[in-house]
């Protein structure tokens, strides 16, 4: 913002800000029209297909479970990141394949989420890929069992293995660079 007392400069700055707001609104409207046009080409179930497609191609691992933990849906990223095809992922009892790494969690990973509405704290898991390698996943579950549109539990996670390895290397390098107390 300009620092001036000239009323003409203040008026120009005000007009620029208004133009910026109008431009942002026009861009948002154009984007909305493009999405609506794409959705309308999908027919009467367009929005359902649109959101399903977005979920399917999400980079995060998305799993929707029944209240009892039965998997109802998993995004394609589950297969891509963990190596399990959808049928095997569902039947291999994936909660048994993971080990919670946070200290406040029980050592038994099969704890079912509470039926309270809302999001849980960030959870960290060690998850066994189909090839036997372990990856560290972090995610949150959102309990929506009372929501008539979902009636389930949404678990959204991502692979943080490489990030954790880099953090560990950084901490090790810091330890080595500190002068020893002799």
pLDDT at residue 126, rounded to an integer: 85
pLDDT at residue 58, rounded to an integer: 85
DSSP 8-state assignment for residue 61: E
Distance (Å, whole) CA 109 – CA 93: 11
H/E stretch holding 48: helix 46-56
Residue by residue, pLDDT tens for the chain (182 residues) are 445 567 788 888 888 888 888 888 888 888 888 877 877 777 777 777 777 778 888 889 888 888 887 888 888 888 888 888 877 777 765 554 565 554 433 333 334 444 555 667 888 888 888 888 888 989 888 888 888 888 888 889 999 999 999 999 998 888 888 876 55
pLDDT at residue 32, rounded to an integer: 80
pLDDT at residue 78, rounded to an integer: 86
pLDDT at residue 27, rounded to an integer: 87
Distance (Å, whole) CA 110 – CA 128: 15
Parse the chain into domains and list their residue ranges.
13-41, 56-168
Given the candidates 3.30.450.20, 3.40.50.970, 3.30.70.360, 3.30.540.10, the CATH classification of the domain at 56-168 is 3.30.450.20
Cα dihedral 17, 22, 25, 29, rounded to 10, equals -160
SS3 state of residue 62 = strand
**CA geometry: angle 38, 33, 148, nearest 5 deg:** 70
Identify any residues that bridge with 127 across adjacent strands, giving them in sequence order: 98, 135
pLDDT at residue 160, rounded to an integer: 94
**CA geometry: angle 153, 46, 150, nearest 5 deg:** 15
pLDDT at residue 98, rounded to an integer: 61
């Amino acid at each position: 913002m300009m620092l001036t007392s000239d009323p003409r400069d203040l008026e120009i700055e005000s007009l620029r800000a208004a133009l910026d707001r109008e431009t942002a609104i026009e861009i948002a409207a154009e984007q909305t029209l493009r999405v609506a046009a794409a959705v309308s080409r999908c027919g009467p179930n367009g929005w359902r297909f649109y959101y399903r497609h977005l979920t399917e191609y999400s980079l995060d691992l998305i799993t929707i479970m029944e209240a009892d933990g039965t998997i109802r849906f998993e995004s394609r990223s589950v297969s891509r990141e963990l190596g399990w095809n959808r049928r095997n992922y569902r039947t291999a009892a994936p909660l048994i394949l993971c080990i919670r790494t946070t200290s406040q969690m029980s050592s038994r990973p099969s704890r079912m989420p509470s039926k309270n509405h809302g999001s849980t704290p960030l959870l960290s898991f060690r998850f066994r890929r189909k090839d036997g390698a372990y990856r560290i996943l972090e995610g949150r579950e959102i309990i929506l069992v009372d929501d008539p549109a979902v009636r389930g539990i949404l678990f959204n996670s991502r692979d943080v293995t490489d990030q954790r390895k880099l953090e560990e290397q950084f901490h090790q390098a810091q330890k080595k660079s500190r002068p020893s107390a002799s």
